[in-house]
A and B are shown apart, each in its own frame.
Chain A
């Protein structure tokens, strides 16, 4: 079984963000970057399947040079090989165009499964795994909460629906699954894993390597800090003052005491 896990480096959730000079992106100079949360769960699910059924886990990312860290971390946790899609030409591509880069890079890998986090914590399109499924003509399931192999070439995925509903879906290989956070407990890299990582292969591919010449299919016309839609009453002061003001608001304004 050959599984590819798509992973992305994103700004830390607690990072304070500023719009950059172009007005169309964020200032990344002082940001701390981390692996996208749901992607870590996707990697863990792939490693668990590999341990139970054998096979190979390839980890693939696309991004700036710093994104290589995501691949290295995944290799340290037990992924077998890295694929790094790196080209300045990818910088301004929208998700549909980016999905074509991934499809071009993965089409000859003979993958059985493609796992990705259900959405990124930065732009949050929540589309990549499904776009690739269509390009590569695979089956798919989104918002996956649990997986179970059925024989050698079918996987069952428990999907999360709205309002507490769930559904099991059977998927023929090859299949692309977008993984929900919370599905497992992602492991930490062991010291041995970190040592082994250094001997593993990471292939870097550019647009030219992939025979691609893509232009964005959407344009970002504006990026801005949203205006507040509500007038918020800020309660401030010392801790004791805040507490007494809150009790007063609960009792006399909202009337829940």
Chain B
């Protein structure tokens, strides 16, 4: 079995999700007596990649791939996959991959088992996905060529095996790729936005807070703790807090000493942004909320009863 890992660049280095995906691919290659290859559409990463336990590093260098363009990336990968006769193509589940891997799936008529949290290599390669907002897991397998992406944290980046890999460059023909999608420059929106990544304590609020008028309850609590205020996506979507407070895949990724989640169910997209916290404390009235799967301390209760008294008790304790 040939496992081809797509390596995405992040600044000057290999994206963390790509390293994690590579570590996963190495693990399954060992279980399935397979072979791991890596491909990057960028020559700046080749040297770094040859230091890992990979049979071959393929570098594709083409002017059409200098900046991200979904149709060009799809066409390039289509040609690489055909060249190496890959059986499985593995990706880190990034927003970039989400934007073109499905196209590749349709073009190759190869199923894309996306956003896996793990895989089972005992009998072929079975992707394990979270569904229904993380409440249920499902195992998915496919015959023939399959694409798979792995969620951030599915494998440990520090478990990746080093070694020495052969490298080759490959030419691709992108002359027939249409210019119907024209990506512009990347930009950041909020100037001087809030940096939640340095906070020692984050108090974060979710949909369970019910309405905008209840937000001060959480603000009181974060002030009593001297914490920063974070939020899950719905609270920002509803306009109750600004985007700069959002934690998760489309917001900031935090690893504070304590993450106190209030009324947050803990969907995958949120967990990605906070599961590395030293201590996770969750207050939620739903005992089945996925946040409890990763919480160190859990309180199954009505936040409206707990919060006012908790803020006051913390103030009392401090004085």
A148 interfacial by beta-carbon distance below 8 Å: no
Cα distance A141–B98 in the bound complex, in angstroms: 10
Contact digits for B39-65, partner A, Cβ 8 Å, 1 yes 0 no: 000000000000000000000000000
Task: Give the A interface residue count (CB, 8 A).
Answer: 80
Segment of B21-29, B82-90, B166-174, B248-256 in the binding face = B248-256
With a cutoff of 8 Å between Cβ atoms, the chain A residues found around residue B200 in the complex are 256
B190 interfacial by beta-carbon distance below 8 Å: yes
Please determine whether A164 and B297 come into contact, CB atoms closer than 8 angstroms.
no
Please determine whether A182 and B233 come into contact, CB atoms closer than 8 angstroms.
yes
Segment of A13-21, A69-77, A202-210 in the binding face = A13-21
> Contacts A235-B297, A239-B305 hold; do A172 and B186 have CB atoms under 8 A apart?
no
With a cutoff of 8 Å between Cβ atoms, the chain B residues found around residue A253 in the complex are 279
Segment of A106-114, A191-199, A217-225 in the binding face = A217-225
Please determine whether A244 and B313 come into contact, CB atoms closer than 8 angstroms.
yes
Please determine whether A218 and B99 come into contact, CB atoms closer than 8 angstroms.
no
A159 smallest CB distance to B (angstroms): 8
> Contacts A165-B187, A166-B189 hold; do A26 and B132 have CB atoms under 8 A apart?
yes
A-B contact count (CB 8 A): 245
Partner of B102, one of A26, A123, A127, A160: A127
With a cutoff of 8 Å between Cβ atoms, the chain A residues found around residue B183 in the complex are 167, 169
Cα distance A26–B313 in the bound complex, in angstroms: 43
Segment of B30-38, B110-118, B155-163, B212-220 in the binding face = B110-118
Contact digits for B96-138, partner A, Cβ 8 Å, 1 yes 0 no: 1011101101110111111100000000001001111111111
Interface residues on B, range: 35 or more
B12 interfacial by beta-carbon distance below 8 Å: no
Partner of A242, one of B103, B105, B293, B306: B306
Cα distance A153–B193 in the bound complex, in angstroms: 36
Please determine whether B105 and A230 come into contact, CB atoms closer than 8 angstroms.
no
Please determine whether B98 and A142 come into contact, CB atoms closer than 8 angstroms.
yes
With a cutoff of 8 Å between Cβ atoms, the chain B residues found around residue A167 in the complex are 183-187
A171 smallest CB distance to B (angstroms): 6
Partner of A233, one of B126, B146, B236, B298: B298
Closest to A142 in B: B99
A41 smallest CB distance to B (angstroms): 8
Cα distance A123–B113 in the bound complex, in angstroms: 11
The A1-49 residues at the B interface (CB cut-off 8 A) are 11, 13-14, 16-17, 19, 26
> Contacts A162-B250, A224-B136, A242-B306 hold; do A230 and B296 have CB atoms under 8 A apart?
yes
Cα distance A162–B129 in the bound complex, in angstroms: 21
A242 smallest CB distance to B (angstroms): 6
Please determine whether B95 and A143 come into contact, CB atoms closer than 8 angstroms.
yes
Partner of A243, one of B130, B146, B313: B313
Please determine whether B314 and A247 come into contact, CB atoms closer than 8 angstroms.
yes
A157 smallest CB distance to B (angstroms): 10
B200 smallest CB distance to A (angstroms): 7
Closest to B290 in A: A226
Cα distance A34–B186 in the bound complex, in angstroms: 35
Cα distance A51–B186 in the bound complex, in angstroms: 30
The list of the 4 closest CB pairs from A to B, nearest first, reads A182-B237, A134-B106, A130-B102, A127-B102
New contact pairs (20) apart from A162-B249, A171-B181, A235-B297, CB-CB < 8 Å: A14-B286, A94-B140, A96-B109, A124-B129, A124-B133, A130-B100, A135-B106, A139-B181, A140-B99, A159-B99, A162-B94, A166-B187, A181-B234, A182-B237, A217-B111, A228-B293, A232-B297, A247-B313, A254-B279, A256-B258
Chain B contacts to A: CB under 8 angstroms: 70-71, 74, 94-96, 98-100, 102-103, 105-107, 109-115, 126, 129-143, 146, 180-190, 193, 200-201, 225, 233-234, 236-238, 243-244, 249-253, 257-258, 265, 268, 278-279, 281, 286, 288, 292-301, 305-306, 309-310, 313-314, 317-318
